[in-house]
Structures are given as structure tokens and as C-alpha cells.
Chains A and B, each alone.
Chain A
């Protein structure tokens, strides 16, 4: 515990002490200007890292938000005569709103479309800043003078300290955010957006909020930017800047506050690097050596393919050769960025911090903080009354894919407190049926009622919120999260603090409570000792059980288990039966898709048999087993021939 505190907090405190005391010892105004920019870009990149790192999307709009924030602050000061705090808040507010507005349509998109949407947003905002001359004075530029802060005129070092303080606040807020349910959700939705939706954690809401938050940090940085330079031109906030910002985040290392900080230092230092010829030659030569060493090492250890090892070497080689041949390196600025960025993206995809932190954690094995005691299961998963009334009703449900009728006119009723078996040969429509119930697919026609009320169609998230939870035939765990985090993410009814309170660090207590509750559920499926193990490192059987624990964390009225026994070894299959029995004792209604007839007979109160998308039999397991149609379906053509 102490070691953890010393190492992690220690590094932060040392960096802070150095950065804070520099103005006292160095009076060079140029160096101070660079440090101020470092703090501003630090804030900007932390904001950009939310989308690029945590949400895993290529965001090309951060330069635009810097610009919008800068103009907002500038205009608030010039036209409205507002003071510094208010104009900075205005910049954050406006970029937050615009960010959210952009995110609503854009984040429904994936990958390339998202990048395109943000790219055009940047182009559009540059156009507007340029052309709306009555407000922004267009290409002429906008001059402002820095207003005093609470009556004090800030000098260069005073303004630097302000920027530094703001960067620290942003840093702390991000730490709070990342160690809360929000951070977990960010991490999880990259692994499996389908599962976050199915667990009732809105994938989309989290993305939009994350993007808007990151954008508002861009706005804050923009406000500071204009206060620093006291002059603005629209041309600054274009494509070029955007690429440089991406360079900063990627080179520094995604998903890391330190990475953003290193990235910012790099961006600040780059222009100086290019203006000094000797320095450039030395650094590019070092880059080449690193690339060669890393390539040889990677090839020897077989962790890299030939292309991955060679490409950075070639690219750095071009940089070195070019540095010796070209007359003026400043002219080739963009090409130089491109070559450096290329080498890093290919050769060192996790960036400098990603690389460093891997080695540092190996070096000083830091123990995670201790876990609280598990909550009582009765508090986490209260007994539900099993009154045998109709819980879920399907009426004439159909789902067709092109010419294939996967579910064709299916009606059945699941009674409260029962385990309802859904069986049938492969491809008989069982999985499609539960996919329609759980909202992954919208039905082609038909009705789904829960407690006699219509269940929402075609939205995993909304169905989950109505109390229907599920596991997946092909596991959809959050592989990078620990078993504990997988369950904590899905926990319903624990996280009550809104985002601003989370940023201020008020969510720690509910976090402890969530840990305790999640441990109780892990205990139920026998995984308590592996709480800290990453889900992807668990054995296959344990992964299946973890999915059940995670689905239970949603506190469902109806739990759908989609082939939980597929691929399980014999002892694990036995464990599974016991787990399902334990869940049954809590009064939770279940739909169980299963192939093994013995498991079905042992567990299910009622069984529905599907074949070719239609129901061919229904009743208790014993009745169904003797049904001639079922025997035919299960044993196939041989019997049909005889009949």
C-alpha cells in the first residue's frame, strides 16, 4: 500500500514540484512561454485522449474545439467585457454543448465514418471562423488583452502558474473519472459494445458524454491559448494542427495521463528541434538506431513481422538521409512529422508511455489495493417471489433474414420463478429467438410482453433496463477488465452520483460498496479468488460462470442463458448445474438454451422445442422427450425415412 502510494503519487509530486518551481529559478521568458504551452497542450491532449485512447476512435475534431474555445473566450472578453474565469467557463460550456451535439450523430458511427464526421466538422468550423467576419474578423485575426484575475494582473509566470494549476485540476478530475464506473465503462465498451448495452450500461450515452467532456477540455485549452497569445487567427486551427495533436497522443501513449503529458512536451519542443540543424540530425540518427535495435530485437524474439520491423527503419532512414540532403528542414516540417508518426504507429503502437509502463510495472510489482469484505447475498440479490404467473409472453413472433425464416410464428409463455428450457437442433431458431427477446434484433413481426407490458424492440440497452439480462453463446466478456470489474460494470442501482460529482471525487464510497456487492456475486459462481484476474486470462469454464455473475449484477427479473454448457468439461458442466440451481433458489426466472437433454431434464420446469423456426412441442421435459416429433427432429432424417 505504502509502496503504491510512494511510486505513483511520488512521480506526480516530483514532476509537479519541478514544474511549479521553474519560474522561481529561471527567468528566461522564452522557456516560460514553452512551459505555459506545455500546460495548455497537456489539457488539450488529456481531452483528446478520452476519445482517441479510451473510446478508441480517431477524433479529428479537437483542433476545432481548441479554436471554438479560443474564439469564445476572446469574444467574451472583447465584446462582453467578461473576466477571465467567466470567459473560460463560457469556452468550456460552449464546447461541451457543441461537442455533445456533434457526438449525438457522430458516435452512432464506427471507425472511418466517425473520423470523417469529425474531420468535416473541423473543416466546417474553420470555414465559419473565417467567413463570419462580423464576429471573428475573419482572416484579419482577433486581438485581445488579458484581463486581470480577481484584480491581479498576471505576469508571464503568474499566467503559467494558472495554467499549471488548471492542468493539475484536469489531471485529478480525469483520475477520478477513470477510477469510477465511467472509466470502467469506457474500457468495457471498446471490448464489447454489445455486452455493455446488454448489461444496461448505455454504450452510446457513455460515448457521447466522454466525447463532450473531452471537447470541453479542448475548449478550456483554447481559452488559455488565446489568453496566452492574445491574438487569434482561424488558420491556426486546421488539419495540420490536428495531425500534430494526434502525433502527440499516439507518440506519448494512449490511455495514459502521463502519455498526454509527454505528447504535449513533444509538440512544444518540435519546432525548436527543426530549427536547429545539428540537433535534428542527432535526434533523427538516434531515432534510426532505436528503430534498428527494436526491429532486430523484435525479429529475433519473433514478436514482430518483417514489415513491422523494417518499416520504421526505412522511414527513419529516409529521415536521416533527408536531413543530410535537404536545404531547409523547416520546409519539410510536415513530411518529418509524417515519417516520425509512421515509425511510431508501426513500431511502437502503444506509444512511449505504454512501452515504459509495461517495463515499470514489471520492475516494481505494485499490489492493487485490498478488497473489502463481500456484501451479504440477500442485499445484492434479494429473493424474488416465484408466484408462477406469466412473466414473459411471446405472441406470433417472427424474424426473417432475407429468404431464411429463422423464427417463424413462435408463441410461448415463461412463468415467474421457472426455468424454461428452449431446445432444438442447431439452427432451429433458439438463439435468434432470444436475440429478438433481448433486443439485439428487432422482430419482423409479433409481440413480446413482460408482465403484460410490451418490451422495447431492437435495443439491448432498453430491454436490459426493463430487467431482462443475458449471457452469450459466444462469450462477450470484457477481456481487458478483471473479473471483479466485469461484474462491477454491470451492477445496477449502486452508482448514483452524476458526472460532475464523480469528477470531483465524491464517488469513492459507492465504489467500495460496488466492490463488496460484486464480490458477493463472484462468490455465488465460485470465482471470488480470481476477482483480480483479467477476464481473458480465466479458464474457459470460469469465463462462462463470470458471464452469469455479470448478468446477475443487472438484478434481472428474467435471465437468459444462451448455451451456457457449450464446450464445458465434465466437472465444469456439473458446477454449472449447481450455479443455475443456486440462482433458481433466489427466485429468478430463467430461459435456458441447452443441448444436453440430461441437463434440461434436471433443471427445467417447462421445455419448448423449436425446429425450423417453429415450435414443435411444449411441456415438461419428460413429456417432450417422448414426443414423436421431437425424436424425429433430434434424430433427423433416418427416422423420417422410416415414417
Chain B
């Protein structure tokens, strides 16, 4: 579904990505792990167009999307839930979710009824969000904001979801909850690229994984294969 080939990108003069290649097949959960500063978040940002790749290609469902504006890539069916969650603080929880579905709802009237089905699904997955639907998103706790960010991505009915560090800054109990949700998304057949610092947990929920080092993919394989790889064990799995 999503294919990245020989991707180069960076900020200013420092080239963070130096030829990243990876693939996310339809209906699979793929994990991207590695040390801080290895380029995981940059990979995601380059895929969704938040930074412009300098070289290489990104294809979504067979269509080349590299160099497109972020909003255009989003409309083509890529939902990126960014690092730090980035919910719209002053807006209500429900408005946040509705905006998640921006690409397939009418602009002016009747968007609420059109979104009812999706909204129902998300509220079913996250009952807490339903309780807080009228509250402004900025007042939610970190864990609730993360649920909202995932819910917002689901609202888009996307072809692929990029999920960047969903566990960041959360208490261990909430992290557990987040991984349970990822498992449920996997069962629902959602295509997912997951960046995670908790390598072990990420491997448990994924079908395939890539390990990044210094802007390149260093190791790739199924979780079972990676568990046997001594380099991975030493560096990330303790």
C-alpha cells in the first residue's frame, strides 16, 4: 500500500534521511524502531510531505506522492498522527474528530450526519472521548489526547495510518492501553506504520519491522527474526 524507496530528506544542511527504503503492505502493521535521532520521525514527516524529500520516491496505492503538499497527500488517503499528538487545543473533541474526516465530508452543511457512522465507530473504540465530546481538546490529559489523535486519524477512512510515538509522555498504564488499541486496529485490518521507542511492545503488535540507524534502514525482518538478531537484542531489547 505504502512504498518508500531510497528516500533522502533533512532540515537545512543536515541530511537526516540518507536513503531509507521500506514498505507497508495492505492490512499489515509495520513497526519502525531505532535510537533517538536515527530518523524515524523524519521518515514519517517526509512521507506525509511535512518536509520535502530531496531524493527518492514515495508511492501510496501505486501513486507517486513525493513532493506533494501535505494537505494533498492527506486527501489521497494518508493519515499521519504526528509526534506530540498535535490536537487542536481550542476546539472541542468532536470538532477535532470531524476535522479528521475533512477530506470526505461536505464543506458547509450536513457534514455532521454524514460523519455519524464514523463518529459512532470512534466513540465505540474510545468511550472516554464520547464522554468528553464537548470539552476543548487542550484540557484533556495526555492519554486522552493520544486517543483523540488516533481517533482523528481513523475518521479519515485512510488507506494508511502513520502513528508516531503514541506512547510518548504517557504513564505505563496508559501506554498499555494504547498498545491494546493498536492491537484492535490490527484486528480490524487497518494498514499501519508505527514508530515506537518501546521496541519490544512495538514488535509484539507488528507483522514486520524495520530498525533505523543514522538515517538508513539497518535491519529488517519479522518480529520473530528480529528477536533472534543479536544486534537488535543488544541495542534495543535489553
Contact = CB atoms under 8 A, between A and B. Distances in A.
A and B touching (Cβ–Cβ under 8 A):
yes
A427 B168 contact: yes
Contact of A638 (B36, B38, B139, B198): B198
Given A403-B139, A540-B14, A427 B165 contact: yes
B36 A566 contact: yes
B120 interface: no
B142 to A, nearest CB: 5
Nearest to A402: B138
Interface string B100-112: 0000000000000
Size bracket of the B interface = 35 or more
A537 B172 contact: no
B238 A403 contact: no
B46 to A, nearest CB: 15
A636 B142 contact: no
B35 interface: yes
Interface in A374-419: 402-406
Interface string B123-138: 0000000000000001
Interface in A584-624: 595-596, 611-613
Nearest to B144: A403
A637 B172 contact: yes
B170 A640 contact: no
A543 B13 CA distance: 11
Nearest to A641: B176
Contacts of B113: none
B173 A640 contact: yes
Interface in B174-219: 175-176, 178-179, 197-198, 200-201, 204, 214
Interface in A527-574: 536-537, 540, 543, 563, 565-569
A403 B138 contact: yes
B179 A637 contact: yes
A405 B165 CA distance: 18
Contacts of B89: 402
Nearest to A401: B138
Contacts, number: 100
A404 B172 contact: no
Size bracket of the A interface = 35 or more
B92 to A, nearest CB: 14
Contacts of A637: 167, 172, 175-176, 178-179, 198, 201
A23 interface: no
A425 B141 contact: no
B169 interface: yes
A547 B139 CA distance: 36
B141 A635 contact: no
B140 interface: yes
A426 interface: yes
Contacts of B12: 536
B214 A569 contact: yes
A402 B142 CA distance: 10
A568 B39 CA distance: 11
Contacts of B35: 595-596
Interface of B: 12-14, 16, 35-39, 84, 89, 138-142, 144-145, 165, 167-173, 175-176, 178-179, 197-198, 200-201, 204, 214, 237-238
14 contacts: A402-B89, A405-B142, A565-B37, A567-B36, A567-B39, A568-B37, A595-B36, A635-B200, A635-B201, A636-B167, A636-B198, A637-B201, A640-B173, A641-B176
Given A612-B172, A635-B200, A640-B173, 19 more contacts: A402-B138, A402-B140, A403-B140, A403-B145, A404-B141, A426-B167, A426-B168, A426-B197, A536-B12, A566-B36, A567-B14, A567-B37, A613-B169, A635-B198, A636-B167, A636-B197, A636-B201, A637-B179, A638-B204
Q: Top 9 closest A-B pairs, CB basis?
A: A427-B169, A636-B198, A567-B37, A427-B168, A566-B37, A612-B171, A637-B176, A402-B138, A636-B201
